[in-house]
């Protein structure tokens, strides 16, 4: 990478850092407290929209982020930070995620076990990642919703060696805790154009997940490769922008979120930065049930640096051990389609209850492989709002 590009990237990173830290600071201090960030500065737009609304005999409402109590008032359950809360409102979510990967892929082409074993001593064959997520959201004021997410992660990976020995490695424990602020930017709605809400996602992921997990392998108890570790080991910034809209029985949303690693972890590497864009549409069949379709594109970079405790090569021929131990075989991009359902239950003790389910299948995968390819992902979550 030339110096100019490096300087540009550092500049962009610092700008994002400033935005995230600024937003977190706004959240923490409550400096702006009684309005969305852009309320009162959109005079020209409001005047023009107001005139159009008046001509139709409608009302233009600005700054209403309160989603009506309906099944699709929250985005699909797999999305994070898709909506904000009113001052004093609290939401607890328990979410379970399961992702299953089966078989290997290099670029956009599948690779068989024997293909992988030509270049490596061991091939991963399948992997299951499960996550129990405990998510808290609190409306600090009219501007900021505070968020916290504690994940408990279980990973299991099956392998096969050149000699046909099969073995499984497993890890489990708490992952990286995420803290954040959702900063309301602007919202407007009229009956004919529907509601349109924008907020900024400012998150930080803390290195609480284990990055030294070990497991039993044919080589003995060794440090497990990168995908089996529970955390990144770095402080990661997670800036994003979310737009959500709705009109009558239809709702939609777009969200872009990045994960930017700050420096290397204490084992000498940094997971690759990640970028994710989701777009969804939902239809409510009745006030209590809706279905959604979501497209999620994700791009993630290779690992920078490497963990010297992860065995990379074995034997007299110095054969590469397993693709998952190679830091330059970790990047890729994937497009998933996710089908979801949201159900709004009757209130219990004045608490709003939502159930969400979402199942995702990959439409396209391009991996710096050989790498395990995704087969499906599944989310189910229960949300309780006071």
Partner 1 sequence: MSKVIKYSLLVNMIFIGWATMVQAYEVIDVNNGATISGKVIFSGTLPDPLWFDVDKNPEVCGQRRSLAKVEAQDGLLKGAVVILEGVESGKPFPKQERRSTGPGKGTFQYTGGATLGLKVNAENCNFGPFTGVVTPDEAVGFVNQDSIKHVLHTFVSLDAKGSVLRTLHNRDLHPNREIHRTFSHSKLKESRVVRMTCNRHDFMQNWLYAVQNPYFAVSDESGNFSIDNIPPGHYTLKAWHPILGLQEQEIQVTPGKALATDFAFSE
Out of 20, 60, 121, 122, point to the residue binding partner 1 (CB under 8 A). 60
**Closest residue by Cα to residue 292 from 243, 346, 251:** 251
Out of 17, 22, 38, 66, point to the residue binding partner 1 (CB under 8 A). 66
Which C-beta is closer to partner 1: that of 55 or that of 221? 55
Out of 88, 218, 268, 305, point to the residue binding partner 1 (CB under 8 A). 88
Using CB under 8 A as the binding rule, whether residue 89 contacts partner 1 is answered as yes
CB 225 within 8 A of CB 120: no
Q: Residues near 249 by Cβ (< 8 Å), separated by ≥ 6? A: 283, 284, 285
Using CB under 8 A as the binding rule, whether residue 386 contacts partner 1 is answered as yes
Say how far apart CA 294 and CA 265 lie, in whole Å.
33
Which C-beta is closer to partner 1: that of 89 or that of 160? 89
| Beta carbon of residue 348, minimum distance to partner 1 (angstroms, whole number) | 13
Which C-beta is closer to partner 1: that of 176 or that of 352? 352
Out of 59, 112, 266, 308, point to the residue binding partner 1 (CB under 8 A). 59
Out of 40, 218, 268, 305, point to the residue binding partner 1 (CB under 8 A). 40
Which C-beta is closer to partner 1: that of 199 or that of 261? 199
**Tokens encoding 382:** 């229960």
Which C-beta is closer to partner 1: that of 74 or that of 261? 74
Say how far apart CA 225 and CA 312 lie, in whole Å.
9
Window of 58-66, 174-182, 200-208, 244-252 that interacts with partner 1 by CB under 8 A = 58-66
Window of 50-58, 258-266, 272-280, 373-381 that interacts with partner 1 by CB under 8 A = 50-58
Using CB under 8 A as the binding rule, whether residue 291 contacts partner 1 is answered as no
Say how far apart CA 42 and CA 47 lie, in whole Å.
9
Using CB under 8 A as the binding rule, whether residue 46 contacts partner 1 is answered as yes
Using CB under 8 A as the binding rule, whether residue 61 contacts partner 1 is answered as yes
Helices (H), 110-236: 113-119
Say how far apart CA 376 and CA 336 lie, in whole Å.
9
Q: Could you give phi then psi for residue 181, rounded to 5 degrees?
A: -130, 140
Positions in 125-144 near partner 1 (CB under 8 A):
142
Which C-beta is closer to partner 1: that of 36 or that of 257? 36
**Closest residue by Cα to residue 313 from 300, 326, 304, 303:** 326
Window of 30-38, 75-83, 99-107, 356-364 that interacts with partner 1 by CB under 8 A = 30-38
Which C-beta is closer to partner 1: that of 35 or that of 279? 35
Out of 69, 192, 266, 363, point to the residue binding partner 1 (CB under 8 A). 69
| Beta carbon of residue 347, minimum distance to partner 1 (angstroms, whole number) | 8
| Beta carbon of residue 38, minimum distance to partner 1 (angstroms, whole number) | 11
Say how far apart CA 261 and CA 238 lie, in whole Å.
9
CB 345 within 8 A of CB 57: no
Window of 84-92, 93-101, 209-217, 371-379 that interacts with partner 1 by CB under 8 A = 84-92
User: Looking at residue 37, what DSSP letter applies?
Assistant: T
Using CB under 8 A as the binding rule, whether residue 185 contacts partner 1 is answered as no
Window of 85-93, 111-119, 156-164, 270-278 that interacts with partner 1 by CB under 8 A = 85-93
**Closest residue by Cα to residue 83 from 95, 91, 75:** 75
Q: Could you give phi then psi for residue 93, rounded to 5 degrees?
A: -125, 135
Q: Could you give phi then psi for residue 28, rounded to 5 degrees?
A: -70, -35
User: Looking at residue 309, what DSSP letter applies?
Assistant: T
Q: Residues near 33 by Cβ (< 8 Å), separated by ≥ 6? A: 140, 141, 142, 143, 144
CB 241 within 8 A of CB 282: no
Q: Which residues bind partner 1 (CB under 8 A)?
A: 34-36, 39-40, 46, 49-50, 53-54, 58-66, 68-69, 86-89, 142, 187, 350, 386
């Amino acid at each position: 990478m030339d110096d100019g590009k490096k300087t540009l990237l550092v500049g962009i990173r610092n700008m994002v850092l400033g935005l995230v830290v600024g937003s977190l600071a706004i959240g923490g201090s409550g400096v702006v407290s009684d309005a969305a960030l852009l309320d009162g500065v959109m005079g020209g737009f409001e005047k023009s929209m107001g005139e159009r609304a008046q001509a139709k005999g409608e009302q233009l409402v600005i700054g209403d982020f309160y989603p009506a109590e309906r099944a699709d008032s929250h985005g699909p359950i797999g999305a994070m930070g898709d909506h904000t809360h009113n001052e004093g409102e609290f939401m607890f979510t328990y979410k379970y995620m399961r992702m299953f990967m089966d078989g290997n892929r290099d670029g956009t082409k599948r690779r068989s076990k024997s293909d992988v074993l030509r270049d490596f001593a061991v091939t991963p064959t399948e992997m299951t990642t499960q996550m129990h997520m405990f998510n808290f959201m609190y409306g600090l004021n009219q501007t900021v919703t505070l968020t916290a997410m504690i994940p408990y992660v279980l990973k299991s990976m099956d392998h096969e060696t050149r000699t046909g020995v099969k073995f499984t490695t497993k890890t489990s424990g708490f992952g990286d805790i995420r803290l954040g602020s959702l900063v309301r930017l602007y919202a407007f709605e009229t009956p004919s154009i529907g509601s349109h809400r924008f907020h900024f996602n400012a998150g930080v992921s803390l290195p609480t997940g284990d990055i030294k997990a070990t497991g039993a392998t044919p080589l003995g108890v060794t440090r497990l490769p990168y995908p089996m570790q529970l955390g990144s080991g770095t402080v990661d910034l997670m800036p994003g922008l979310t737009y959500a809209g709705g009109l009558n029985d239809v709702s939609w949303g777009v969200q872009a979120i990045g994960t930017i690693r700050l420096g290397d972890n204490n084992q000498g590497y940094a997971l690759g930065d990640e970028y994710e864009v989701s777009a969804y549409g939902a239809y409510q069949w009745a006030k209590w049930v809706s279905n959604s379709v979501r497209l999620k594109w994700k791009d993630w970079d290779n690992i920078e640096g490497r963990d010297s405790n992860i065995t990379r090569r074995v034997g007299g021929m110095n054969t590469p051990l397993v693709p998952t131990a190679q830091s330059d075989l970790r990047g890729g991009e994937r497009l998933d389609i996710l089908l979801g359902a949201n159900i709004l239950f009757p209130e219990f003790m004045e608490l709003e209850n939502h159930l969400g389910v979402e199942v995702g299948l990959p439409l396209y995968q391009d991996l710096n492989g050989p790498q395990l390819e995704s087969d499906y992902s599944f989310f189910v979550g229960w949300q309780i709002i006071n």
